[in-house]
Amino acid sequence: MAIEWAVFASYGQFVAPTDLVAFFESPHVVFQAAGEGGDRFGSLAVFVLSTGAAWLLPHEVQPLRWWRAVLASLVLIATVAAGASWWRASPSLGHSQPAFACALAGLMRQATVRANGGGRIAVPSVPMPTDGAPSAPLPNIVLVLGESLVASHLSLYGYDRPTTPRLQALADRGELVTFVDAAVMGPHTRTSLPYIMTGLSGPDPGGRVLLAPTVTQYAKARGYHTAFISAQEESWGDLDSLLREGTDTFRTGIEFAPHVDVLKGADDLVVLEEGVLPAIRSLAEPFFLVVHMDGSHMPYRQHSPPSHKVFAEDGVNSIGAYDNTIRVTDEFVARLFDALRARDPEAWLFFTSDHGQPLGEGGAFFNHGYQTNVVKDPLLAFPPPSGNRAMWTALAGAQVSACDLTPTILHLMQTAPLPEAPTDCVDWLAGPPGPRHRVVSAYTPTYVTEPTMLLLLPDGRRAVYDLSRNTVTLDDGAVRPMSEHPLPPELAAKLVITNR
């Protein structure tokens, strides 16, 4: 009860089953995150008062009469039943005790859900033409995966602070395309990156993403020299097992810094100097390089060096501290772009964030919820001079998702998804996508299989589905049964877990 109260007081929500899973998976990470954003004094006070209440219990052992046992059992059952009913009828609870009981019940139910599947589908090598006909050269491609970057805090997207002066200069010269209606794939790194790398989208309770080939595997099969360089420690949740597939070179943050954990990787600018820029200069062509940044993760103050403290920081997780992290990303991407153009003027560069941060919209604890700042993706493309500028200008306003990068990159590599592993997302080079349904979801076994999803409707409306409660919350904030606003059939079909 004390734990539930502390989390609700700090983050406006109670502990959910997914929080319990995350805690048992890595207690250190949960305690560290709670310590950074929680009300420490209030949590301690409630804990002390709750513990002190034990002295109100009888000091001597007394026999429990049968009628008291029955009464206590009925009260306990009624409390859990009332809490469960309230939990299904409301997006938030008003009392911590039934909240905790329902979280435990939800965890037991969730533990019965298992993903099916075995090894990842292999991609056969693409044979080179044997008829002697000249083939177009394969372009060099770099994909940068940002971390926790909020589009609304980039001056590229109209923010009033100069957080991205270098990227703004590139945009003014027509060197980059800013997508204004882009969506991430999930609210956490582990619910997002696997789907960016495979071209799939949620919901995915059956774990299709655990079988699908990654864009790096396709690149390797196509004859690319492949590399993955990360400022982060990628082994939490076995994410490295997916990202390592198909790579010739795989380097993570532990190679660039002695102390790396889930909340703080190696310094981005160190990784840029010691890992990324040397790779761009030395990789044999054609090359495909994936870069995963340390970025703008909490605690924000730790993610920018003194040289980039442009804005005043009122606290470790203040807006000033967050905006300073963006100055690092701005320099990182701009310098990478300059080095890539110096190596190959016709190379392609893409940037996407894995997810954003709530930044005052609520639900800050492990990015619970689907706030606008979490799901809007600061997606950027840097087409070469030979790229079709008119087409890319038209794409800038289209409804796109981060997972579109995989089919688009495969098009550039002159290959396509395997018939047995189709992608869900759109190849931009086949033409700007029209109005479409887009999904942002945490319902995946790559994290803790949280049965929720955000559906971005073609008309711009939002619908947040809680698939365990069978409820949907629309823009008006009202919670409705899913029967009043069902999922489109193609998405409902994804909820059926089939044996493979």
β-sheet with 462-466: strand ranges across: 438-441, 452-456, 462-466, 471-473, 479-481
What is the number of residues in the chain?
Answer: 500
Per-domain residue ranges of the chain: 2-49+70-110, 141-433
What's residue 80's pLDDT?
66
How would you classify the pairing of strands 287-292 and 462-466?
unpaired
Integer-rounded Cα Rg, in Å, for the chain is 24
What's residue 265's pLDDT?
87
Give the H/E segment covering residue 251: strand 249-251
141-433 adopts what CATH topology? Answer: Alkaline Phosphatase, subunit A (3.40.720)
What is the rounded distance in angstroms from the CA atom of residue 105 to the CA atom of residue 82? 13
How many Cα atoms occupy the beta-carbon half-sphere of 303 within 13 Å? 34
What is the rounded distance in angstroms from the CA atom of residue 200 to the CA atom of residue 401? 10
Which pTM does this prediction carry? 0.80
pLDDT tens digits, the chain, 500 residues: what are they? 555 555 555 445 555 555 555 555 556 555 555 555 455 566 667 667 777 777 777 777 777 788 888 888 898 787 766 655 554 444 444 445 555 555 555 554 444 444 444 578 999 997 665 555 557 899 999 999 999 999 999 999 999 999 999 999 999 999 999 999 999 999 988 899 999 999 999 999 988 999 999 999 999 999 999 999 999 988 776 788 889 999 999 999 888 987 777 678 899 999 999 999 999 999 999 999 999 999 998 889 989 999 999 999 998 889 999 999 999 999 999 999 999 999 999 999 999 999 999 887 654 455 567 999 999 999 999 999 999 888 998 999 999 999 999 999 999 999 999 999 999 999 999 988 999 999 999 998 877 678 899 999 999 999 999 998 899 999 999 999 999 999 999 999 998 764 44
Please give the full DSSP string across 309-322, using - where no structure is assigned.
--S--SSTT-HHHH
Query: DSSP strand E in 255-412: where?
Result: 287-292, 348-353, 380-382, 400-401
Which region, left, alpha or beta, applies to residue 361 given φ > 0 means left and ψ of -120 to 50 means alpha?
A: alpha
What's residue 32's pLDDT?
55
* CA neighbor of 292 nearest in space, from 317, 326, 266, 331: 266
CA–CA–CA angle 94, 473, 179 (5° rounding): 125
What's residue 341's pLDDT?
98
What's residue 119's pLDDT?
75
What's residue 94's pLDDT?
46
